[in-house]
């Protein structure tokens, strides 16, 4: 009598996407990422693929500078109007009008988040030109101005614009040039005729304030760039681990198919002694080829859910097809559902456990007690146990080249997110307990490749007790 097929066509966890993953060129691993632009090795820092944090901080900084610049410009408006009579009739109005227009453009650019650096850079340059042109646009350059030039009140705005628009060293140079230029103008009659000490104090004050703003902006940019680079590197490492994990799942599935179908077919063909047996072996060969071809049609990410009753029905049919009957116990699983690929993996592993019991436990008839238990568990999943009162075996003595337990049961279930516990010893029978999902949800071979610092949400430890799937 022919044993039932271990699974329907279509592997639970392999597919064309996984084949592509296998062909992908792995990235090199190295020491943890450091902030060093220009490198694209996985172990080193590289330009972030999607710099979310940096974009956000740039938006916040630019809007803050744009809003503060508008406030400062409004505060300087009364002073500017008070000094309008001392400026040339037409040319003297050009610099305040152009500078005011640029300040409004900066605010608009920060709102629409477009051309921000262009607008702020233009504002910084126009302010510097307005400083240089100040004495030449006075009605009487020899007349001493009463108070400070109104440009003083927007000096910090101009240095802030430079910090947003220019590279670090250019911005640092601007925070020196603009205040020093103002200090020189401050000593002229058209600038108020201040003495050297007062002009120097004004210039130093503007330099210090501009440098503080520049340092704050630079440090925030560096911090967010480091965050984005670390995120990009972690995602790259995770992507590589996913590809490696997918390749491992595919290998397990192919090994399982080879053991369950191909090797069985070869053994049947070798033992065929009659035309009927030869025809049976040929039919098994066709089914094995179909399984290998169809293994690439069910992607790992297929999360289609089916009721557990469908899986239990298939398992009961498989159990009833054996010559030696199994006592089937089913309890509390009628409302349970699980993914399709998980169902296929659990079915194949359960049938292989029953096949092993029929082949190795003892007489393949009713004289030997065999039980099949199907039930729900506390983790919201299912537990399947295949037990017999047979001769048992020494678990540590199982050769590594034996694939039935290690590949067809253990790794197949683990690849689907479950766990296998084998309890046996010579003369005391065997129990194969399949649980899904894994009882200790902390254990995950994919997640364990990451540290808590890299992916805090995946900072899981790896524990194993009572030898779940404990097959060498």
Query: Which region among 90-94, 167-171, 304-308, 401-405 has the lowest average model confidence (pLDDT)?
Result: 401-405
Mean pLDDT of 72-77: 90
Any residues with CB less than 8 A from the CB of 149 and at least 6 apart, and which?
83, 134, 182, 185, 186, 190, 191, 192
In this structure, what token pair is assigned to residue 3? 């044993």
- For residue 452, pLDDT beyond 60: no
Q: What is the pLDDT of residue 261?
A: 59
- pLDDT > 90 fraction of the chain, expressed in percent and rounded: 26
Q: Which residue has the higher pLDDT, 46 or 433?
A: 433
**Cα 167 from Cα 304, distance rounded (Å):** 52
Q: What is the pLDDT of residue 38?
A: 39
- pLDDT-derived band at 158 (thresholds 50, 70, 90) equals very high
In this structure, what token pair is assigned to residue 174? 């601007």
Residue 96, helix vs strand vs coil: helix
Find the Cα–Cα–Cα–Cα dihedral 149, 152, 158, 160, rounded to 10°.
-170
Mean pLDDT of the chain: 76
Sign of the alpha-carbon dihedral angle for 256, 259, 262, 265 = negative
Tens digit of pLDDT for each residue in 207-241? Answer: 999 999 999 999 998 888 888 888 777 877 777 77
Q: Which helix (H) or strand (E) holds 307?
A: strand 305-307
Find the Cα–Cα–Cα–Cα dihedral 145, 146, 151, 153, rounded to 10°.
160
**Cα 429 from Cα 434, distance rounded (Å):** 17
pLDDT winner (highest mean) among 48-62, 107-121, 284-298: 107-121
In this structure, what token pair is assigned to residue 441? 């949800």
Q: What is the pLDDT of residue 464?
A: 37
Look up residue 327 and give its DSSP letter.
Answer: E
pTM, 2 dp: 0.48
Provide the β-strand partners of residue 381.
none
Q: Please name the residue that has the structure tokens 């238990």.
A: 373
CA angle 402, 403, 407 (to 5 degrees): 145
Please state whether beta strands 14-15 and 305-307 pair in parallel, antiparallel, or not at all (unpaired): unpaired
Q: What is the pLDDT of residue 263?
A: 60
Q: What is the pLDDT of residue 250?
A: 65
User: Domain limits of the chain?
Assistant: 52-232, 301-472
Q: Which residue has the higher pLDDT, 282 or 197?
A: 197
Distance spanning both ends of the chain, measured CA to CA: 32
Provide the β-strand partners of residue 436.
382
CATH match for 301-472 among 3.30.565.10, 2.70.150.10, 3.60.20.10, 3.30.1510.10: 3.30.565.10
Whether residue 333 contacts residue 308, with contact meaning beta carbons closer than 8 Å, is answered with yes
Q: What is the pLDDT of residue 174?
A: 95
**Cα 31 from Cα 454, distance rounded (Å):** 13
- For residue 113, pLDDT beyond 80: yes
- Give the helix, strand, coil percentages of the chain, each rounded to 5: 60, 10, 30
**Cα 150 from Cα 158, distance rounded (Å):** 13
Considering only CA atoms, give the Rg of the chain.
38
Any residues with CB less than 8 A from the CB of 63 and at least 6 apart, and which?
110, 111
Burial bucket for residue 206 (CB in 10 Å: 0-12, 13-18, 19+): buried
Look up residue 137 and give its DSSP letter.
Answer: G
Tens digit of pLDDT for each residue in 300-350? Answer: 445 678 888 888 888 888 888 776 788 888 887 677 888 888 888 888 888
Q: What is the pLDDT of residue 425?
A: 87
Tens digit of pLDDT for each residue in 365-384? Answer: 778 889 999 988 888 888 99
Q: How many CB atoms lie within 10 A of CB 65?
A: 25
**Cα 117 from Cα 288, distance rounded (Å):** 64
Quote the distance between the C-alpha of residue 322 and its chain's center: 47
Q: What is the pLDDT of residue 427?
A: 86
């Amino acid at each position: 009598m022919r044993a039932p097929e271990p699974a329907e066509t279509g592997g639970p966890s392999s597919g064309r996407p996984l084949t592509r993953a296998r062909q992908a060129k792995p990235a090199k691993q190295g020491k943890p990422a450091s902030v060093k632009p220009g490198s694209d090795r996985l172990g080193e820092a590289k330009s972030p693929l999607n710099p979310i944090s940096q974009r956000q901080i740039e938006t916040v900084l630019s809007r803050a500078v744009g809003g503060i610049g508008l406030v400062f410009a409004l505060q300087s408006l009364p002073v500017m109007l008070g000094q309008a009579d001392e400026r040339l009739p037409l040319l003297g109005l050009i610099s305040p009008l152009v500078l005011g227009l640029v300040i409004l453009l900066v605010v608009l650019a920060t709102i629409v988040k477009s051309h921000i650096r262009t607008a702020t850079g233009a504002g910084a340059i126009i302010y510097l030109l307005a400083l240089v042109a100040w004495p030449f646009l006075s009605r009487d350059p020899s007349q001493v101005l009463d108070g400070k030039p109104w440009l003083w009140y927007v000096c910090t705005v101009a240095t802030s614009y430079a910090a947003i628009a220019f590279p670090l060293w250019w911005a640092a140079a601007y925070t020196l040039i603009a205040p020093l230029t103002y200090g020189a103008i401050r000593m002229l009659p058209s600038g108020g005729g201040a003495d050297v000490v007062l002009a120097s104090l004004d210039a130093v004050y503007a330099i210090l304030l501009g440098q503080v703003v520049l340092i704050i902006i630079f440090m925030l940019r560096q911090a967010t760039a480091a965050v984005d680079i670390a995120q990009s590197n972690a995602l790259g490492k995770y992507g590589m681990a996913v590809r490696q994990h997918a390749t491992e799942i595919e290998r397990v599935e192919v090994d399982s198919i080879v053991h369950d179908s191909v090797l069985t077919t070869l053994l049947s063909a070798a033992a065929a002694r009659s035309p009927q047996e030869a025809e049976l072996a040929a039919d098994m060969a066709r089914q094995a080829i179909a399984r290998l071809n169809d293994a690439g049609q069910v992607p790992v990410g297929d999360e289609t859910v089916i009721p557990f009753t469908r899986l239990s029905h298939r398992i009961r049919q498989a159990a009833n097809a054996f010559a030696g009957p199994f006592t089937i116990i089913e309890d509390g699983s009628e409302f349970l559902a699980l993914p399709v690929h998980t169902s296929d993996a659990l079915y194949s592993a359960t049938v292989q456990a029953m096949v092993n019991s029929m082949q190795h436990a003892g007489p393949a008839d009713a004289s030997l007690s065999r039980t099949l238990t199907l039930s729900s568990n506390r983790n919201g999943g299912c537990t399947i146990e295949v037990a017999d009162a047979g001769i048992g075996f020494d678990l540590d003595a199982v050769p590594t080249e034996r694939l039935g337990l290690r590949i067809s049961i253990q790794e197949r279930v683990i690849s689907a997110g479950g766990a296998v516990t084998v309890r046996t010893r010579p003369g005391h029978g065997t129990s194969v307990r399949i649980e899904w999902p894994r009882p200790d949800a902390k254990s995950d071979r994919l997640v364990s490749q990451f540290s808590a610092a890299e992916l805090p949400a995946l900072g899981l430890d790896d524990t194993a007790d009572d030898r779940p799937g404990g097959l060498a």
